[in-house]
Amino acid sequence: MTVVLSGPLGAFHHVDSRELMPALPAGSVELVWTSPPFEGIDGVFADDPAGRAFVRWLRPFFKEFERLLTPTGSMVIEMGHTWLGDQATRGVQNAALLATLVGEEGWHLVQEFYWYNPHQLRYRPDLVDTRLRFHDSVSLIYWLSRGTQPHASTAPVIGAQGGGRPDGNYLVLDDDESDAQYFADCAATDETPHPDRHPIAVPGFFIDFLTSPGDLVLDPFGGSGTTGLAAEARGRRWLCAECSPDLVEIARRRLRHLPGAVDHLL
Ligand SMILES: C[S@@+](CC[C@H](N)C(=O)[O-])C[C@H]1O[C@@H](n2cnc3c(N)ncnc32)[C@H](O)[C@@H]1O
């Protein structure tokens, strides 16, 4: 059994998502929301200017997403930018992934979003402090679908973007009260909240926008459990898979504050 923590509406698994996903029924997921390890685990994509290795690695996951999504379902993927190792130039993996998915795999790019996210993006002091490059300030979030009319309503999220036009695709979303208990835990033990942890408001925005209560939301790169927290608070069913024991531990510490949470490792 791979479940480490469950809430009334979902479960967080310590597992490689390539093992978890084949066990789920076809057409059962309304939203795949995720952020892949876009720099690769231990920087394995640092020497990948055309993004080929990244695309080769991610492609089988998208085959599973295709099988799992309902006909009106959506796939939303957040990705930063990659510097080529310590070089002062970039790889183009985001563009390569989109070109492959849209050009060869039958996905549609519905829209992209720009999330103001300077704290979590890789800081290159050798380039920024020496006035050679700017610090990255936005992450890119791509909304993809299998059909051209995925289920969506901006009504619940108009004005929730936190910056720019209230009907625009520029998002200024940060930590809020919904993670207060985790912050209090960290303060009590003198720890820094995990830096890779997304604000709950980010998956929350897309869950409100693209799903209805009771729908299933899947995060195959579950990290610190952000998607589970966002989905549970909004009355959506959820499943997260994470393969790193360190991140699983962070997720446990965040998710155990959910009302009705059960820690399966205790
Ligand atoms: C960018 S992080 C996700 C951060 C997450 N959104 C959060 O808020 O914490 C990507 C995660 O994917 C995990 N991962 C990579 N390959 C995986 C796989 N095959 N199955 C499950 N998790 C995987 C990594 O360990 C890493 O924690």
Taking only the tens place, the pLDDT of each residue in 128-176 is 999 999 999 999 999 999 999 999 999 999 999 998 899 999 999 999 8
pLDDT single digits (tens) 62-95:
999 999 999 999 999 999 888 998 899 999 999 9
Q: Which pLDDT score, from 0 to 100, does residue 163 have?
A: 85
Write down the pLDDT at residue 157: 97
Is the C-beta atom of 47 inside 6 A of ligand 1? Answer: no
Cβ–ligand 1 distance for 21 under 6 Å, the answer no
Q: Nearest C-alpha to atom 5 of ligand 1 is from which residue?
A: 223
Looking only at the bridges linking them, the beta strands covering 108-116 and 216-219 are: unpaired
**Which amino acid makes up residue 257?**
H
Q: Check if 35 has its Cβ closer than 6 Å to any atom of ligand 1.
A: yes
State the pTM of this model: 0.97
CB atoms near residue 208 (< 10 Å): 19
> Beta partners for 6?
11, 262
Cα separation, 236 vs 102, whole angstroms: 28
* Residue 242: C-alpha distances to residues 173, 190, 249 (Å): 23, 25, 10
Summarize pLDDT for 182-222 with one digit per residue, the tens. 999 999 999 888 888 999 999 999 999 999 999 999 999 99
117: nearest Cα among 129, 135, 130, 132: 135
CA distances (Å), origin 216, targets 15, 31, 32, 207: 19, 7, 9, 10
C-beta of residue 143 within 8 angstroms of C-beta of residue 76: yes
What does the domain layout of the chain look like in residue ranges? 3-263
Count helices and strands in the chain by DSSP H and E runs: 8, 10
222 Cα: distance to centroid of ligand 1 (angstroms): 5
Contact by Cβ (8 Å): 74, 210 = yes
d(CA 115, CA 97): 19
Q: Which atom of ligand 1 is nearest to the CA of 244?
A: 25
Q: 16 CB under 6 A from ligand 1?
A: yes
- Give dist(CA 198, CA 195) in Å, integer: 8
Using alpha carbons only, give the angle 20, 8, 25 rounded to the nearest 5 degrees.
30
Which amino acid appears at position 106 of this protein? G
* Gyration radius of the chain over CA positions: 18
Question: Does residue 197's CB lie within 6 angstroms of at least one atom of ligand 1?
Answer: yes
How many whole angstroms from 155 Cα to the centroid of ligand 1? 30
Q: Does domain 3-263 have CATH number 3.40.50.300?
A: no
What does the block give as tokens for 204? 């929350």
The predicted structure's pLDDT at residue 152 = 98
Is-contact 11 222, C-beta < 8 A?
no
| Residue partners of 147: CB distance under 8 A and separation at least 6 | 71, 72, 108
CA–centroid distance, residue 17 to ligand 1 (Å):
9
* Nearest protein Cα to ligand 1, atom 14: 221
How far is 28 from 70, CA to CA, in rounded Å? 6
Q: What residue's CA is closest to ligand 1, atom 4?
A: 223
